[in-house]
Structure 1
């Protein structure tokens, strides 16, 4: 990116299809172009396969996009958050619609639904307790506290 000397900051954008991007954060610029600078940002809700780009914003209103990069999560990188959950939780690490099973501590299926990346799983009708979340061959635990 050419105009880092007047850098206001970077808008971080994410996409599931490399076409439609959503704003997921902003990192303030360090203001000058003297020497190399290191910036960091952590995506709290990555898709299984995420596309990212930066929009570098200048103080004078000009902007420039970076190239698009692809980040693919490990299959074992499936996670459930927040945990404990109140009325809903999310499953990160999905790249497409997946069937999600929720089993109670006795192993009985109490909820079964299809979930898309970034879509919440509603838990407000479940009793408080420990549940097993099964997505494909992966299983995770979540505590429900309504």
Structure 2
């Protein structure tokens, strides 16, 4: 009986030894071949004059081949619109990309990060709006010009929306701010110029999101 017990204890000890050895080997192999993944710290964007400007920040980036910028419209379906090469910097790295050909309406952007070993990761989705068509500036006009007490403007809108109407002088100082409702199609609106001195000004119409704007110069005369 004692001999059997001794044999069993020896067998358990050997099994435990090999289990510990195998575990250590697996851990060593993982540490040796594993690559610490890069961290996407932020991904955001803004719209200026119907151009989407995307920015993202990476950290601990050592294995990145490139970033594929993908865009989808309101009908869905992502398309690859550009590729940005990875810099591979252990510190924080800031990337940027400008899309000067936004789709009408909402634009959905995401990053497809492709590593040197073929691994693929996707970022969150950033939504940017292009409610006023990029060629809408040719559809906006002001009259009469020069203007006296009232300035009229005509503008086309793809959909109903509320806009911010502002008047600037040549020094960039805001002389008037108001809000007006536009409807789908051609709109004719007017603003009062009382209180403005004679001179040169700019009329700016901006959607509420600030993603698109129309600007036209005019002259105020008594």
Q: How high is the TM-score relative to the length of structure 1?
A: 0.49
User: Which is helix-richer, 1 or 2?
Assistant: 2
